[in-house]
Structure formats: C-alpha cells, structure tokens
Amino acid sequence: MPMTDNSWSDDVIAAAVAEARRPSDIGSALGELVQLAEVLARTLARVTLVHHPELGSVRARLEAEPIDRHGILRARVVAPPTFTGYGPTLELETWIVIVDSSDRVVGDVCFFWAASSESP
C-alpha cells in the first residue's frame, strides 16, 4: 500500500531549504572551471569540426578540496578530441583539466559538441 504520509518528504524539503541558506562557493567554483575550460574546448572543437561548434552538453567534476583562488588556474587538454556516436548523434568530446598554480588538478570538464553540420 502506498504511503500517504508526506511528512518524510516535507522534512527533506525543509532540510534542503535550511541547507541552501548556508554559505557555499561550490557553484561559483564550478562555474569558474567551466568558463575557463570552455575557451580551450571551443577552440579545439572549431579547429576539429571546421565550422562553428554547437554545444550539446557539459559534464564537470570539481575536486573536493577548495580551489586556491590566489593563484592562476590553467586549462589543459586531457586527450585529443574524439568522436562518439553515429549519424545525427555524432558528437565531438573535448576533455579539459584545470590545474592550479601548484600544478594540482582542481577539476575537469568534458564538452560534447554536435559533430554533424546541417548545411542548407
């Protein structure tokens, strides 16, 4: 028999609202990583695809340790761009790693670009 008592989900929602009020910089740190990596990834996609790349999706991972915001972050290519899928679902994957001034990996980002161009 399905539960009709919503008290458990109400408690979870209330806890999530309380948690959202706590200060956190994870979202801004992750956004910073994606912005930094996008410049390099878009350039790789443009050179590889020979047309203006259309971004399909992004997957990002941020290391649990806080990012040292006093140093300079750098983007590096993890591996050469690779194609995945077939036909209209063909995508170009560009993996970028972000390192801090101590050459410590702070996160990585994978961009998936539409690899087939629809020319009129």
Q: What's the whole-number average pLDDT of the chain?
A: 83
What digits encode the pLDDT tens for the residues 61-102?
A: 988 776 666 678 889 999 999 999 988 889 999 999 999 888
Q: What is the CATH number of the domain that holds 48?
A: 3.10.129.10
Residue 14 lies in a domain: no
Residue numbers of the domain that contains 64? 26-114
Count of domains forming the chain:
1
Tell me, rounded to whole angstroms, the distance of Cα 61 from its chain centroid: 6
Question: pTM, whole model, 2 decimals?
Answer: 0.72
Residue 120 lies in a domain: no
Tell me, rounded to whole angstroms, the distance of Cα 92 from its chain centroid: 15
pLDDT of residue 120: 37
Residue 88 lies in a domain: yes
- Residues 106, 54: Cα–Cα separation, whole Å: 26
* Owner of token pair 């209209």: 88
Residue 96 lies in a domain: yes
